[in-house]
Amino acid sequence: MATTLSEAYRDTPLQLKHIIPLDFDSIHYLPESHVWTESVDLLSVDESDVPIIDLHAPDAVELVGNACRKWGMFQVINHGVPRSLLGDAESHVRRLFGLPAHRKLQALRSPGGATGYGVARISPFFSKLMWHEGFTIMGSSLEHAKLLWPQDYEEFCSAMDNYQKQMKSLAYKILVLILKSLEAKDEKTLISTASFQQSEGALQLNSYPCCPNHNQAIGLAPHTDSLLLTILHQNDTKGLQVLRENTGWITVPPVSEALVVNIGDLLNIVSNGQFPTVYHRVVPNETRHRFSMAYFYGPPVDSTVAPLSNLGSPRYRSVTVKEYLSIKNKHLDKAIPLLKTG
């Protein structure tokens, strides 16, 4: 039996203090538990050069390749996802996080589970808590939606299903462009085998409420995403930042109509290190409530990921997705270095 993505997270149970978010409605100051002293004052640069790529441009392959090499992140326009679908999904996200805390807690992620309401998965690795609440979906959202809205969960579920379907097909298109840019000879084994049609995905809904004393808080701590690539929709509130060597944290501004794409750890491996996996973080806002939806796209959990054969001698050993996630759950940022060969 094939392992599912949620099963891959089951062997790392968490403590409740690493699952339950703050009740943001009832708190109007920044508690000590959420004060980040050092990391936040790292240089923030408020101008952005993150490329914006028209997916139908004749040179899209080259543009995507350059952006992956230089940034590991870019925005896409002309992506074919209808504006109405994005708006619809966003309104459901607002409705979900707008529920009172006691209702949201009904759908709390279980300690051994991967889906439902809770803080970010990476929280146990940091001594301070984040100004953030999330809701994770892997496949169907039915189980948790029923707990949130016993009478009317259907609209939410179908909006999330549609959204994931659109994201999956867009992610596949972008992956094909990326593999072409790597001139992958063995791309077929990665993308057109029957098994890749059963690619895995997860949808993470994020909420960053207005934050008192926001300069001392962090919305989502610096991290890289684990799977192949992530497609992100952000509402019209900035907060996402990407770390650029020798420069600092650069804001990735919301561009209406655009979706943000970033390289994940598995593409770092597949590209034999040609594409960096990008550290990114979210800084909270004092007066605006920020929402985002991140779709994580990866190969089947039991499949093996390795550097493409045309990219020189492999700098990483091959690894199954399942094994990689388990290494990442234990070692976070050290997961990729642990796979280095020689």
Ligand X SMILES: C=C1C[C@]23C[C@H]1CC[C@H]2[C@@]12CCC[C@@](C)(C(=O)O1)[C@H]2[C@@H]3C(=O)O
What are the residue numbers of the active site?
Answer: 290
Total H helices, total E strands in the chain:
11, 15
Retrieve residue 154's tokens.
């259907």
Residues numbered 148 to 207 that lie near ligand AKG (CB under 6 A) are: 204, 206
Shortest spacing between CB 49 and ligand AKG, in angstroms:
18
**Measured distance CA(197)–CA(318) in Å, rounded:** 21
SS3 call for 233: strand
If the CB atoms of residues 24 and 295 are measured against ligand X, the closer one turns out to be 295
Q: What single-letter amino acid sits at 70?
A: K
135 touching ligand X, by CB under 6 A: no
Which of Fe ion, ligand X, ligand AKG, none does 75 bind, CB closer than 5 to 8 A by kind? none
For the four alpha carbons of 19, 25, 27 and 30, in that order, the dihedral sign comes to: positive
Residues in 206-235 that interact with Fe ion by CB under 5 A: 225
In the bound state with Fe ion, the residue whose beta carbon lies nearer, of 92 and 132, is 132
Binding of ligand AKG by 221 (CB under 6 A): no
In sequence order, the β-bridge partners of residue 297 are: 201, 229
Q: Give the binding range for ligand X (CB under 6 A) out of 165-173, 180-188, 224-232, 274-282.
A: 224-232
Question: Does 262 help bind ligand X (rule: CB under 6 A)?
Answer: no
Q: Binding to ligand X (CB under 6 A): which residues in 189-218?
A: 202, 204
Q: What is the residue whose two structure tokens read 């094994």?
A: 323
Burial 304-319 (b: 16+ CB within 10 A, else e): ebbbbeebeebbbeeb
Closer to ligand AKG by Cβ: residue 184 or 214: 214
> Which 253-312 residues touch ligand AKG, going by CB under 6 A?
280, 282, 292, 294
Q: Residue 280: how many CB atoms within 10 A of its CB?
A: 23
Give the residues lining the site for ligand AKG (CB under 6 A).
204, 206, 220, 225, 232, 234, 240, 280, 282, 292, 294
